[in-house]
Amino acid sequence: MTKMDTIQIYHDVHMPVVGFGTYLIDAENVQAAVSSALEHGYRHIDTAEKYENEEGVGAAIHAKQLVREEIFITTKVWPGSEAWGETPKTYDTTIETMHASLNKLQLDYVDLYLIHAPFEKDHRLEQWRALTDLQQQGKARAIGVSNFNQLQIDGLVNAGLPTPAVNQIELHPWSQKQAHIDYLKKHGITPMPYSSLAPLSTWRVAEDQGSGKTDETIAERNLETITLETIANKHQVKQSQILLRWALQKGYPVIPKSTKPERIALNFDLFRFTLDDNDMSDLESMERNTDLAWGQNFFEF
């Protein structure tokens, strides 16, 4: 990857368009996975307080002895939810969480710091004020949110606070969120997808089997395999690469995750082919307005 393969998210802050996600990679395995990603050329690593693997991510980065400016690190503060039996973060505990994350990551700053979810409205502004101050202190080069809808973002801005640089949301051909994407782009907010590979027939199958939605979900995915397989065969690549390339051509940075070195390599190999207009149209015809990671109702908090 060259330095040109980036997207500007805030003033002089440029994010590599292909990053490595670490959700569901446990602390025991994350160091090896991140090390493999770095060896294959990834220079953006995405983690979070809630993933409980920041220490392993930091160990992998530290072991590679890379120049700090050559690597882009995203992490997220978990805001806490009273509805889930958690204590919501205050201004002070948000600040404390950032310092704890930096200690685990063995870094002086992160490139992007996000509020992981909107949750309670009463605490949202306090948490966002903490992030704006952390940015002013140089602890985060850019700040943003995740899983926020339009009203929730408007609430931050209408309080006289800075507009988030990024909104990390579930985004793929099954869940394209065009109205929300239009809103984000209008306000200069970069849409950053997660769960880019959700339409794959094998995506989190084991997880679905414990959710009570296995038969319907896998049947729907298998239907889409016909479209994905046809386009993948046309370009002589894998279906996962088609989904990631779709996102890149829409202007979205991606953060695919895997613990297998061969998959890590494949997910980074996205620049030797281009989807044509027919490919993009076929993929966009897969729209189902369906979120799978959090469930359809989460985005409406």
Note the pLDDT tens digit of each residue in 26-62: 999 999 999 999 999 999 999 999 999 999 999 999 9
**pLDDT value at residue 220:** 60
Residues facing 168 on adjacent strands: 146, 192
| Pick from 104, 100, 163, 99: nearest CA to 128 | 163
301 three-state secondary structure = coil
Whole-number pLDDT of residue 282: 96
CA 174 to the chain's CA centroid: 16
23 catalytic? Reply is no
The whole-angstrom separation of Cα 121 and Cα 119 is: 6
pLDDT of residue 290: 85
| Predicted local distance difference test score (pLDDT) of residue 210 | 43
Say if CB 79 and CB 86 are below 8 A apart. Answer: no
Q: Which of 10, 42, 51, 194 is catalytic?
A: 51
Written as six digits, the tokens of 32 are: 């090896």
pLDDT value at position 299? Answer: 46
pLDDT at residue number 206: 46
The 3-class SS string of 100-148 reads HHHHHHCCCCEEEEEECCCCCHHHHHHHHHHHHHHHHCCCEEEEEEECC
Q: How far is CA 225 from the centre of its chain?
A: 23
Average pLDDT over residues 84-110: 97
Per-residue pLDDT tens for 121-175? 889 999 999 999 999 999 999 999 999 999 999 999 999 999 999 999 999 999 9
- Confidence grade of residue 3 (pLDDT, cut at 50, 70, 90): very low
Model confidence over 224-264: pLDDT tens digits? 668 899 999 999 999 999 999 999 999 999 999 999 999 99
- The predicted model gives 174-191 an average pLDDT of 97
Question: How confident is the model at residue 203, as a pLDDT?
Answer: 81
Q: Give the Cα separation of 137 and 133 in Å (integer).
A: 6
pLDDT > 90 fraction of the chain, expressed in percent and rounded: 84
